[in-house]
Structures are given as C-alpha cells and as structure tokens.
Amino acid sequence: MAFSVPKGTKDILPDEVAGWQRAEQAFSGVCAEYGFREIRIPTFEHTEVFTRGVGGSTDVVRKEMYTFEDKGGRSMTLRPEGTAGVVRSFIENGMSSLPAPVRLYYMINAFRYEKMQKGRYREFHQFGVEAFGSQGPDIDAEIISLLVLFFERMGVRETSLCINSIGCPECRSVYYEELRKYFSDKLTDMCADCNERMKQNPMRILDCKESRCKVYTADAPRQLQYLCEGCKEHFEGLKSALNDLGIDYTVDPGIVRGLDYYTRTVFEFVSDHVGTQGTICGGGRYDKLVEMMDGPAVPGVGFAMGVERFLMELQSQGIELQEKRSVKVYIANLSDETLASCRKLAYRLRCGGIGCETDLVSRSFRAQMKYANKAGIPFVAVIGPDEVAGGTFSLKRMSDGATAEFSIDDSIPDINHYISEKN
Ligand SMILES: [Zn+2]
Ligand SMILES: [Zn+2]
C-alpha cells in the first residue's frame, strides 16, 4: 500500500516552490529595509507558552492545538502561531535591554487541528513581524506600510485596509459591562461557545460565525464608542500617520481579532478580488502580552499572514511567478573518450558560478539534446574528439543554433559574459 500525506498537510512540489521562494525573498527583503531582523524559534514549546501567550479562552487553545506528552512526561505543543514563541524568546534572551524598538520577523510553519475546508491546512505557514518597546502609533503605521510595500512588490492589487481600536484593559472593562448588559437577555438564543465567551471575553462574541448569534452581534455596542482618552489619542495618531503616508483605510469597529492579547490597534488587510474575498493578513498591538508572560512591561505590535492564503490570492489575481532556473549550460557528451573533459568543464563552470548539467544516465547524443531542449536550458556545450584535441569547446545557443568557440582555458568571466549577453 502506498503512503499518502496526513489529512490537512500537503507537499509543496518543485513546480509550486517558485511562488514560495519569491514571497519569502520579497518579505525578508522588505523586512530588512525596515530594520527587522529574522528570528527562528522552535517548532514546539511548553504548552503553557500558548495557554498563557495565546489565551485560554481562544478557539485556538481550547480546540485546535496539537498537544502531546513527551517521553519525559512534559506537556508540549506544536506552535499554533508565532507570536507567543517570539515573546517567550524575547523575554528569555533579555532582549528588552536592547535599544528599542526591537524589530523581529519570522517565516514559520504552524499547526492547528482545524475543520477541513478549501485552502485551510492543519500544517500551514505564516510570515510575521513583532516590534517591541515602542508605544506607537507611529510603529503601528510603519508595519502597516511594510505590508503595503510587500503587496506592491508581489504585484497584489485589490486589497483594502481596515483598522479599529479595541482599547486598553481600563476602557475595556467599561465596555465589557456594556456588552454583558446588551447580551444578557439574548444568551439563551445563542450558541454554547458564546455563552462561554460571555464569561471569559465577551468581545469575542462579536467574532462568532453562527447565524443565530450574528443576528444579535450586528447591533452590539462597539469598543470604539468607549475608548478612554489615551486610547482615543492613540487611534487618532494612527489615522494621521496613515494619512501622512497616503495609505487608504476604513475604520471597521467590527474587527476584534481572534486572540486574547490584543490592545488598542487591530487591523486587517482584506481582498476585494472577486472569488477570494476575505482576510489576507491581520495584526495589532499587544501592550500587556510580555508582562502576561512574566516579562518586563514592554509594549508590542505585530502581524501574521497566512502564506497559503496569500499565494491563493496571487494565483486568483493571475500573478504568475516564474521559477528562476539557474542551469544555463548543458554539457553534451559524445563518447567515453570525451567524458573526462565534460566532467572537468562542468566542475570548472560550476566553480565559476555558471549553473550546468551533464549527462548522468548514458543518453545518446540525440537524447541529450532533446533533454536540454525540454528542460529549457539555453546553451549546450559540445565537446567532441576534435575539441578535446584542440583544448576547446563550442557553445551553442538553443534558440537559434548560433555557435561560439571557447578555449577550455578561457576565463570564466568571459564565458559568463557571453552567456548573459546572448541569453
Ligand atoms: Zn483605553
Ligand atoms: Zn455564537
């Protein structure tokens, strides 16, 4: 019986990898230009990192984590997102003593046991950034503009930015009172999850997808109406920074984000493209998270983007990502007598940074040419007995047969120059 991948996982085959690599390069490039440095954190952590760092009332922690006991009897969890692990590392490595803001980015796989649906995987990938030590709102606007630039570099259009403020613990307690009052006589009609949320984090009721709950959430009071002076000022500051940058946005008081740790700024980029509408990327501020995880009082802000979702968007917008092929020369071998010269030339070209392939499966000369053509290799080097005797090789351009002679000893930069000029 042949094996197959576990449900919720997928192979990323060589033909698809071009898009991944392009996105990774563009993302790390943009991050670096904004002063962010990459961090690589473990795939699994002590379960407590996520129950504390993501929040015990979230669906992620309550229903979707891959938690297991290791052979030492410790509870471990495959990371369901990136922020909690980055915060753990920030605290553990004393990064709060570094000059602020400390700017980190990551490109990770993550794991959630989710219901199967199109475009959703149980092992998925995220790009994200976290910035610590700046109250904002300038840095909030900066990471939003980082995303705008990333989308632009990837050629993604038809996205819009929605922003909201969900306040701080002080103004939120006032707001929660209002929410509880509003929902108190409706709870019997609402789902079990919402009844649970009512106790722990009533704001998350606004995120419920059940239609019988949505009936009520539409008219529920919004945090935006209950912001304290500090939060109001912060939100106004964000809007004016975005205005300065010429970044369009809509204030959407309905955005609450699914995780417990957010404060003040929350934002989403949504697609307006027909067929793929929905959230591409979301983020926000988490001023209490580092403290909640037993670290110093350091504010933070960040976002995470699902890579699978993002690539789906590229595809549906018709953005083609061509694989960059590095092999420029196929070295055709004519006989056993020329084999040594072929080998040597291949190694010499590779040492000089010119990608090449040579025959490894004893194909006939004709079959070698056919292979090179099919593989889209732009040049073929031919070394026959005459060339071996004369210490030369000929380089033929596949598109039109134009041929040039080179001495085996010609300098690699000369050969490289010829190839890039004629390619
Ligand atoms: Zn507040
Ligand atoms: Zn509900």
Q: Mean pLDDT throughout 205-230?
A: 90
Closest ligand relative to 228 C-alpha: 1
CA of 261 to the centre of ligand 1 (A): 14
Does the pLDDT value for residue 216 go beyond 70? yes
**How confident is residue 5, by pLDDT bands cut at 50, 70 and 90?**
very high
Closest ligand relative to 226 C-alpha: 1
- Mean pLDDT (the chain) is 92
Q: Helix (H, G, I), strand (E, B), or coil: what is residue 420?
A: helix
**How confident is residue 33, by pLDDT bands cut at 50, 70 and 90?**
very high
Closest ligand relative to 206 C-alpha: 2
Position 254 scores a pLDDT of 85
Position 260 scores a pLDDT of 66
pLDDT tens per residue across span 135-176:
989 999 999 999 999 999 999 999 999 999 999 988 988 998
pLDDT tens per residue across span 87-128:
999 999 999 999 999 999 999 999 999 888 877 899 999 999
Does the pLDDT value for residue 276 go beyond 80? no
Placement of tokens 């960059």 in the chain: 324
| Span 327-422 CATH architecture | 3-Layer(aba) Sandwich (3.40)
- Domain residue extents for the chain: 14-168+228-316, 327-422
Q: How far apart are CA 74 and CA 19, in angstroms?
A: 38
Does the pLDDT value for residue 297 go beyond 90? yes
Does the pLDDT value for residue 1 go beyond 90? no
Position 115 scores a pLDDT of 86
Residues of the chain with pLDDT > 90, as a percent, come to 72
Closest ligand relative to 190 C-alpha: 2
CA of 313 to the centre of ligand 2 (A): 29
Q: Which residue has the higher pLDDT, 160 or 57?
A: 160
The topology under which CATH files domain 14-168+228-316 is BirA Bifunctional Protein; domain 2 (3.30.930)
Closest ligand relative to 235 C-alpha: 1
Q: Mean pLDDT throughout 223-235?
A: 95
CA of 161 to the centre of ligand 2 (A): 26
Q: Mean pLDDT throughout 371-395?
A: 92
Does the pLDDT value for residue 60 go beyond 80? yes
CA 296-170-217 angle, 5° bins = 120
CA of 87 to the centre of ligand 2 (A): 30
Q: Helix (H, G, I), strand (E, B), or coil: what is residue 298?
A: coil
Nearest CA among 48, 34, 55, 66 for reference residue 130: 34
Handedness of CA 17, 118, 310, 103 (dihedral sign): negative
Closest ligand relative to 223 C-alpha: 1
Q: Which residue has the higher pLDDT, 139 or 335?
A: 139
Helices 14-33 and 307-316 pack at an angle, to 10 degrees, of 110
CA 137 to chain centre: 24
Q: Mean pLDDT throughout 296-321?
A: 93
CA of 112 to the centre of ligand 2 (A): 21
Question: Matching CATH topology for 14-168+228-316 and 327-422?
Answer: no
CA of 195 to the centre of ligand 2 (A): 8
CA of 166 to the centre of ligand 1 (A): 8
Q: Mean pLDDT throughout 176-186?
A: 91
